[in-house]
Amino acid sequence: MNKKLKIYLRSLKNNSWQLFKGSLKSLQKEFIKRNIKISLEANIGLNVRIGNWASVGDGASVGYRASVGYKASVGYKASVGDEASVGNWASVGYRASVGNWASVGNWASVVKNAKLKKSMQADIIEYIGKTLNQYPIKNKYIFYKRVNKLSKGKYSSCYDKNFIYQDNKISKIKNPDLNINKSCSSGIHVSTPFYWTKGDTLIAVEVNVKDVITCLEGKIRCKQVKVLGEIKSK
């Protein structure tokens, strides 16, 4: 497929997304620099995000505004739907299918001939269970995030130093973005302990199912959380 594409790749100077335009063939040099392997027989949609070391096989399809994470793999004749997400180190097997807006979390695997359909609105609990292997107890999850420690039991957000987390208190977003198709938008982002790279302190938080907005790209975006406290490594 040699139609003109718009593909976002990670910048070699920093970790930001950089837009490239051209055919798959003309972009091969950029793929090589990032250790990305995309077959010339693959079908790539517009505004797709492809992480470094990712792989898209022969006859595979990656839809409009979909995302394939770092070291992720989309197998032979597999398909990833429009605005769907395949997380870091995740894999979509031979002829497997990930539906529109669906998400495959970090290190997760969709096996040969499997089909993962859009389930965000239908059953958020089942969806989070399938992608992050997390289930609520009495409608409450325990997730994690990295922050910067200010003092004992008090922390600031890595992205907004004025947004404060405090042990045993609720941290709430005033005007969260309720669009379930947006991963990086207004809201509190939480995930598994090893998802995060920034921040000097890992904290555990409690999230009520009713406060979950969406689950995309291996993380949860929610309206509010209750801070349980710091997780100290040995």
Per cent of the chain over pLDDT 70 is 94
Which tokens belong to 222? 């929610």
Strand partners, 110: 92
Q: Are residues 92 and 149 in the same domain?
A: no
Q: What is the pLDDT of residue 124?
A: 78
**pTM, two decimal places:** 0.51
- Which of the listed residues 87, 116, 145 is the one where a domain comes to its end? 116
Q: Are residues 128 and 226 in the same domain?
A: yes
- What does the angle CA 32 – CA 33 – CA 35 come to, to the nearest 5 degrees? 60
DSSP state of 119: -
Q: Is the pLDDT of residue 68 over 50?
A: yes
Average pLDDT of span 77-82: 86
Q: What is the pLDDT of residue 142?
A: 96
Q: What is the pLDDT of residue 118?
A: 53
Q: What is the pLDDT of residue 121?
A: 44
Q: Are residues 109 and 38 in the same domain?
A: yes
- Give the pLDDT band of residue 182 (cuts 50, 70, 90): confident
- Which of the listed residues 116, 133, 159 is the one where a domain comes to its end? 116
The sheet that has 219-222: what strands, in order across it? 188-190, 219-222, 212-216
Q: Are residues 110 and 150 in the same domain?
A: no
Q: What is the pLDDT of residue 120?
A: 46
**3-state helix vs strand vs coil in the chain, percent to 5:** 10, 40, 55
Sequence-ordered list of residues with C-beta below 8 angstroms from that of 28, at least 6 positions apart, any chain = none
Q: Which of the listed ranges 51-55, 88-92, 99-103, 213-217 does the model predict with the highest average pLDDT? A: 51-55
Q: Are residues 110 and 147 in the same domain?
A: no
Torsion of CA 161, 154, 190, 192, to 10 degrees: 130
Which tokens belong to 210? 């009713």
Q: Which of 132, 125, 133, 102 minimizes the C-alpha distance to 115?
A: 102
In this structure, what CATH number is given to the domain that contains residue 108?
Answer: 2.160.10.10
Residues of the domain holding 75: 5-116
Q: What is the pLDDT of residue 14?
A: 85
Q: Is the pLDDT of residue 122 over 80?
A: no
pLDDT tens, position by position, 43-64: 998 989 999 999 999 989 998 8
Lowest mean pLDDT among 37-46, 50-59, 120-129, 172-181: 120-129
Torsion of CA 20, 24, 28, 31, to 10 degrees: 60
What's at 223, amino acid-wise? K
49 three-class SS: strand
Lowest mean pLDDT among 6-15, 75-84, 184-193: 75-84
What is the sign, positive or negative, of the torsion defined by CA atoms of 201, 206, 211, 216?
A: positive
As for how many domains the chain has, the answer is: 2
Q: Are residues 95 and 128 in the same domain?
A: no
Sequence-ordered list of residues with C-beta below 8 angstroms from that of 17, at least 6 positions apart, any chain = 8, 9, 10, 11, 49
- Which of the listed residues 65, 95, 116 is the one where a domain comes to its end? 116
